[in-house]
Amino acid sequence: MDKQKIYEIVYFLKSTKGIDFSGYRLQILERRIQKRFYYTNTENFNEYYEYLRNSPAELNNLFDVLALNVSHFFRNALTFELLRKKIIPEILNKKKIQNENNIRIWSAGCANGDEPYSVAIICKEFLDRKENNFQINLFATDFDEKSLNKGRKGIYKASSLRNIKYGILNKYFVAEDDNFILSDEIKKMVRFSFFDLVNKHSRFPSESIYGGFDIVFCRNVLIYYDIEIQKLIFDRLYNSLNQNGYLILGEAETIIKDYKYSFRRENNYCKIYVKSD
């Protein structure tokens, strides 16, 4: 593996696009960059670097292949079932007792919006019930502007909706040609902003976004990063959560060693944790 060349490529991307992938695991960088060889007619990291330096368009392609913004609605369906059946009702009960009526949720690394909109759809069902009188603040952040814009538009292909129940599809989407257009009532529930979880100097979303959360989703993001960077991300996730707030990770992710005693696992079958120290 040409480690030095891989990092030259990564630093070149950083200097031109302002996004730093050097904290990604080396193997992921290697595999992802290699994927571009075929499309650029190059055969090794040296040749690819030369190509990249002379092709602004390729910078965007490389960014896309590294950002890995694949997602779909209700990914890991069981997690969303638990959200509906257990987590949201528990939060609502607690808030009632505390005389509060505001629920704050953050989807960190939201890609094209499939995840925060899935949460919004579940919350909408609660909001529609007469006995519930509360407000939802749902924030979605990513460092990929293209994904954020897709999220704001709320237009999806059928593949994004493969986990959706017919009733929900029918209620909140309109089919047009090959696309499914999300209804405005769901779209307006989610606020999208740029936020780089790793860059300490990243432009922050407004203060209101960065704390006091009842639930934080950070799924299928940590998995790409080295342990030191995971630690940095965990610091941010931990600090942004309320005491007893829920942290929801991707299926292949887990709490890092430094935070082992700061969270307890909600159950054995989903990566849902409760901030508990």
Ligand X SMILES: C[S@@+](CC[C@H](N)C(=O)[O-])C[C@H]1O[C@@H](n2cnc3c(N)ncnc32)[C@H](O)[C@@H]1O
Residues that bind ligand X (CB under 6 A): 67-71, 75, 109-111, 115, 142-144, 147, 196-198, 219-221, 250
Q: How far is the CB of 216 from ligand X (least distance, A)?
A: 11
Where are the alpha helices (H) located in the chain, listed in sequence order? Answer: 3-17, 26-40, 45-53, 56-67, 77-82, 88-97, 114-127, 145-153, 166-172, 184-187, 227-240
Contact of 267 with 82, CB cutoff 8 Å: yes
Could you give the C-alpha distances from 7 to 10, 27, 65, 226, in angstroms and in order? 5, 12, 16, 14
d(C-alpha 74, C-alpha 94), whole Å: 25
Contact of 31 with 75, CB cutoff 8 Å: no
d(C-alpha 69, C-alpha 112), whole Å: 7
Burial class (CB in 10 A: 0-12, 13-18, 19+), 27: exposed
Q: How far is the CB of 68 from ligand X (least distance, A)?
A: 5
Closest to ligand X by CB, 42 vs 74, is: 74
Closest to ligand X by CB, 92 vs 110, is: 110
Q: How far is the CB of 129 from ligand X (least distance, A)?
A: 27
Closest to ligand X by CB, 92 vs 143, is: 143
Closest to ligand X by CB, 187 vs 219, is: 219
Q: What are phi and psi of 8, to 5 degrees?
A: -60, -40
Closest to ligand X by CB, 123 vs 148, is: 148
Closest to ligand X by CB, 190 vs 198, is: 198
Q: How far is the CB of 112 from ligand X (least distance, A)?
A: 7
Q: How far is the CB of 100 from ligand X (least distance, A)?
A: 27
d(C-alpha 91, C-alpha 68), whole Å: 32
Q: Which of 55, 46, 5 is nearest to 29 (CA)?
A: 5
Q: What are phi and psi of 154, to 5 degrees?
A: 70, 35
Q: How far is the CB of 265 from ligand X (least distance, A)?
A: 19
